[in-house]
Chain A
Amino acid sequence: MFYGAKGPILIERIGHLLSVNYGSKDERKQWAIQGISYLQEIHCTNTPYLDILIEESGLRPVNILNSQLVSNPHSSLLGGFDENTARDIISHNFHNAIFQMESQEVPLSQRCQHLEKITQISLLCKNFKGVEEIEYNVKSIIQRRENYDNSGPVIERGTGRETAQEDVFSLVRIQILLCVSYFLQERYFDCCTKFFTIMNSEPLTLKVLSEHFNSVDFISKEEFMMMLNISVLISIPLDNYDDFIYLSDLKQFFCMTPLLVTCLELLINTNFNKFFKIWHGEINGMCVKSLFLEPSWSSSAAIIMRCKIYFFYLRISKKLQFTYLSSTLGIDLEDIKKELTKLIISGQLNFEIDDDVIHFEDSSILQSIINEISKNGTIINGVIDKLKNQNLDLKDIIQSNPVQYSSNNNTVNITSSESTEDMDIDEVNNRSDISDSEGNLFES
């Protein structure tokens, strides 16, 4: 459930599960107790999840406060951070944690490992700007390394070598974390593109991923692979799956994730129903319970994939029914209606919805212009109508009250004579006739 997480990430994972209300009540209670005992061991109860932990565990707060006097927590519980940083993370005091980490002095040979930790904290607090800075940093490290390698072979000593090796792994892992960052930002295309770029430039990538990926401290290999699967499925166009799956330099990668291959095959064979069974079953199941996958999944990933398929159906059809789509794709009718309607409106698609039927409506590209012009037409008509009415009123006044007109109201006389100079009544009438027909034309 927690991929063997041990450090502060454990609290995050438990907190996530509890806050999305995952699992049965008993399970939640167990997790909550596990979380509280972890907090006790590490002497830190200052966490935003504390309330929910206490509530779910059913323990009384007294018990927790009682247990402050224990010896120093075991280092395995710190997830590779020092004590204070770990507590900062638990209490979501991320900026302080990063600040402390950054101000530490680290030997050159462990720089990458240190940087990896900072990246982890940045991801936890969704400080993507910080991650971006780290990306620049990594770039320069890699460049320097290359120059270093080119300058000649270096003989490394026994013990130094191991840490150096570990540092290289760290460097790869940081790059992998960059993909995680993209995923969290819901930039799925960047996520998978970044990964395949790393794979191309760094031959160790797959090895590190499968052998040196420590799920105890942070994200697990399974979760990361799932990120890639989702990103690939979402961001590669349907028409290009068939090209993608045969890319020969990705063979090794595909062998690591048979699930992706299965999904791609189903999609290539337009077996959408079966695909959605996996998408809403296995994949959904894993995403919902994962701290790293859930936010992006719920907010966009799940729905984008569905829209992609809806759009494919729109592409090939003139008319189709919601009920048909619902039964062929195996998705709830109400969901389809909601999502597809939203897609058509927000994507400004040339489709009209008529109860159960969606049909193509060729409101051409000029439609918006025509709309605009007709809008202008109504404005003009409106103005003309107003003028016409004014003139009619004027005419009435003149005809019904000639005396008043000739003797009393000089001002009116002046204005009306001015207006008649401007425009003859008949003329106005004629004009409005024309504009009426024009208006009709627009309105039709």
Chain B
Amino acid sequence: MSDEDDNYDDFMLSDDEGMESIEMEEETGDEDEEMYKSNEDNNQDDQEQRMEQYVQHVQDTFEKKNGKKAEDICGKLFEEARNLKEDEQYKEARDSFLRIYHMEEFSSEENIDRLMTWKFKSLNEILHLRALQLYYRKTGVQNLVLQVLEDTATMSFFLQRIDFQIDENIFELLSNTFEVLAPKWERVFLFDIEKIDKENMICKIGFQKKFMDQFQWILKKSGKNFKLQNLQRIIRKKLFIAIVWHQRLTVGNVFIPEISSQVQITDQDNECTSFEENTDLESVSMFLQYYILEYMQTALIDNRNLFKKCIDYFEKMISRSLTFSQESGLMVILYTSKTIWILDSDSENDIFFALMNYYDRKEELKNMFLNILKHLEEMGKLREGDITSSFHKFVLSGFIFTSMILEAISKDKINPFDFQQVKIALGSPIVNALKTVYKCFGQLELKELNANISRISELSVVLGGIIQDIYYLAQTLKLWRRIAQLYSCISINDIIGMLQISDDNEMTRDDLLTILMKSIMKDRSVVYFKIDLTSDLVYFGDENKVMLPRCSKEEFRLTSSPKDGEPSTNAKLIDFEYVNDVGIYNSPTRIRTKSSKDFFNSLRKTRETVKLPRVKIKSNEDTFLPSYMKFANKYLELTKLASNNLV
């Protein structure tokens, strides 16, 4: 859609320009002055030549008639051609424009300047003529392409001849033409080409490459002119994009030295200058797609720094502009990049992510997947036919998987299949497969879960991390919900057998021990347990809640702190501080707070409380201490009293 808009704007613009020039034609009386003015403009730098020029100008007036005539003709022809164009008589329009181009150049210098401008404008118009057709016609583009390329050659040749020595406007007009003939590819993604009409796309990209190749020579020009540099940048960018796409569509693999070196160069460039100056949305979008593709194929991002820089810049640009943020294509790229970033960071042990709660991390990931789905839907790309592509499978599975994890570890139970974006795809093979996975997970059927996930073969690389999380979670849940509730004593090997995910992926003894230890540390073990590490048995049940220290903390403090006569090094070991640090008397409790102040306050409180917690008569759930503990001290005192009396 936007392309059309752009074109429309473009035409309106050139119309206005045309009008201006026509108006200028009519003001014949002021012609001399006008001419003089433009002359002055052109030669602002060399003021000294002004007199000389003026003399020349006076001389020129003799020949003026010819020039004026030529210009008149130009104007007329141009207008004619434009009308023809509007009537969609392209061939005639082209002929008219060509007539302007072929006009003889015999007038004096100033006039030749103006003539050249006309010629340039005409050529430019010719290139624009077929742009729309070129990009929206589905078939028979070949001939058209050839013709446009021919015209382009003419244009290129012409430009070389005049060497940009005309109006400053030329740069803008040219870049405009480039944008029209080599448009932004906003609705297709490098990483999702399975559903693209390849032949057509190759043809267009091939055209873009050949088209831009014609202007390669401009890149060799050196100059401080900002506008020229700008133009060179556009050419470079369009060429790069064409090369990447062409490679992707024909060979498939874009990770060839030619392209990756280009990406590296951009990175180096950006280290000298700021990112903003050098890069625009289009090329950043290209880089992001390149990285996404890299991740999709290898589950690795080589240059994480640049990737992150690109994402940040891209996001900043998009958030700045309302038009961009409504561009679903861009948003899909943005969210996909962010998703990839999170996935990659998870495996890379990024410090920033280490500081993020597991739950928060997964939640963010889920939201990213959902956003991608939403924007794909807006683009109309969530129809059943599209869902077979691996990118769509990736997004849908990612969303379902993360939802599954969140559902298991939090209280809010939202069925991911109730989301509108998933509902649209209901009935497609991938969603059916995901439904089975979801069911197996709910029932904690580990082997089936594994079998079903492996059936979606594309995902094992890209979503590897999440899949491992799911297995781990399923194992933990099964251990606590199924096994621990049933058995009071079971051997480690038997548990391993029950928690086996697949035959070829053996769970080790250490894996199980890690699950057990992590569960107790995170206070996630539902049933209390003890391990006999010598004979590899696990005992489940509350009867295993026993006091580790022989006496209470209170008693310990009474008996141990004032030790007279003992060497100080020995006393240190049974120091109160030390006992607290080792945590001998701590009954483990989680501290759920976000503020460090509260956190340390509650820690201090547990360290400083010496008295036993009040024992609940009903149950011993919250404490390890048996109820008679409370009076232990008194009993002891009593017996001591007795023994004192006996002696």
Contact = CB atoms under 8 A, between A and B. Distances in A.
Contact of B351 (A254, A347, A363, A379): A254
B549 A237 contact: no
A271 B521 CA distance: 12
Given A196-B596, A300-B578, A319-B535, A372 B355 contact: no
Given A239-B523, A247-B596, A270-B514, A261 B533 contact: no
A243 B593 contact: yes
Contact of B549 (A186, A318, A347): A347
B642 interface: yes
Interface in B11-66: none
A259 to B, nearest CB: 10
Interface stretch (A7-15, A108-116, A309-317): A309-317
A248 B594 contact: yes
Contact of A242 (B522, B584, B636): B522
Contact of A235 (B352, B522, B581, B584): B581
A433 B514 CA distance: 57
A276 to B, nearest CB: 15
A333 interface: no
Interface string A312-352: 10111111110010000000000000000011001111110
B639 A372 contact: yes
Interface in A52-97: none
Contacts of A49: none
Given A245-B354, A349-B548, A365-B626, A238 B596 contact: no
A270 B521 contact: yes
Interface in B601-624: 603-604, 607
Interface in A246-288: 246-251, 254-255, 258, 261, 265, 268-271
Contacts of A319: 532-535
A238 B521 contact: yes
B203 interface: no
Contact of B591 (A187, A200, A243, A251): A243
Given A316-B530, A320-B533, A258 B351 contact: yes
A241 B597 CA distance: 15
B591 A240 contact: yes
Nearest to B357: A246
A196 B599 CA distance: 10
A50 interface: no
Nearest to A258: B351
Interface stretch (B2-10, B149-157, B477-485, B550-558): B550-558
B596 A304 contact: no
A245 B577 CA distance: 23
B631 to A, nearest CB: 10
Contacts of B354: 245, 261, 265
B581 A189 contact: yes
B549 A349 contact: yes
Interface string A208-252: 000000000000000000000000001111111111111111110
A183 interface: no
B592 interface: yes
B597 A200 contact: yes
B588 A237 contact: yes
A357 interface: yes
Contacts of B517: 270, 312, 316
B226 interface: no
A155 interface: no
Contacts of B594: 246-249
B548 A350 contact: yes
Contact of A236 (B577, B579, B588, B603): B603
A265 B358 CA distance: 12
Contacts of A348: 549-551, 556
A315 B628 CA distance: 22
Nearest to B520: A316
Contacts of B584: 311, 347, 349
Given A247-B599, A251-B355, A261-B351, A347 B579 contact: yes
Interface string A350-370: 110000010010111111110
Interface residues of A, number: 78
Contact of B572 (A240, A299, A366, A368): A299
Contact of A321 (B533, B569, B647): B533
Contacts of B513: 270
B531 A317 contact: yes
B636 A369 contact: yes
A365 B548 CA distance: 10
B589 interface: yes
Contact of A304 (B532, B582, B629): B582
Given A248-B594, A316-B517, A237 B572 contact: no
A240 B646 CA distance: 49
B641 to A, nearest CB: 10
B599 A350 contact: no
A311 B583 contact: yes
Which interface class (under 10, 10 to 19, 20 to 34, 35 or more) fits B?
35 or more
Contacts of B577: 186-189
Nearest to A267: B521
A349 B550 contact: yes
A368 B532 contact: no
A397 interface: no
A197 interface: yes
Residue of A320, A347, A373 contacting most chain B CB atoms (<10 Å): A347
A238 to B, nearest CB: 6
Most chain-B Cβ atoms within 10 A of its Cβ — which of A186, A248, A251, A351? A248
Contacts of A30: none
A235 B355 CA distance: 20
Given A193-B604, A237-B603, A324-B533, A249 B582 contact: no
A145 interface: no
A206 interface: no
B372 to A, nearest CB: 27
A398 interface: no
Interface in B524-549: 529-535, 537, 539, 544, 546-549
B590 interface: yes
B356 interface: yes
Contacts of B143: none
A365 B552 contact: yes
Nearest to B635: A369
A33 B597 CA distance: 48
Interface in A368-417: 368-369, 372-373, 375-376, 379-380, 383
B132 interface: no
A307 interface: yes
Interface string B556-581: 10000000000001001110011111
A373 B533 CA distance: 35
B222 interface: no
A6 interface: no
A320 B597 contact: no
B643 A372 contact: yes
A239 B590 contact: yes
A308 interface: yes
B182 to A, nearest CB: 43
A355 to B, nearest CB: 12
Contacts of B250: none
Contact of B551 (A247, A315, A365, A379): A365
9 contacts: A188-B577, A197-B600, A243-B590, A247-B593, A300-B578, A311-B584, A360-B530, A365-B551, A379-B647
What 7 pairs between A and B have smallest CB-CB spacing?
Answer: A372-B639, A320-B533, A239-B588, A346-B574, A348-B550, A270-B517, A318-B532
Interface of A: 186-189, 192-193, 196-197, 199-200, 234-251, 254-255, 258, 261, 265, 268-271, 299-300, 304, 307-308, 311-312, 314-321, 324, 342-343, 346-351, 357, 360, 362-369, 372-373, 375-376, 379-380, 383
Given A188-B577, A317-B533, 17 more contacts: A199-B596, A235-B581, A241-B521, A243-B591, A243-B599, A244-B599, A300-B578, A308-B583, A316-B530, A316-B531, A321-B533, A347-B549, A365-B626, A366-B632, A367-B550, A372-B640, A373-B639
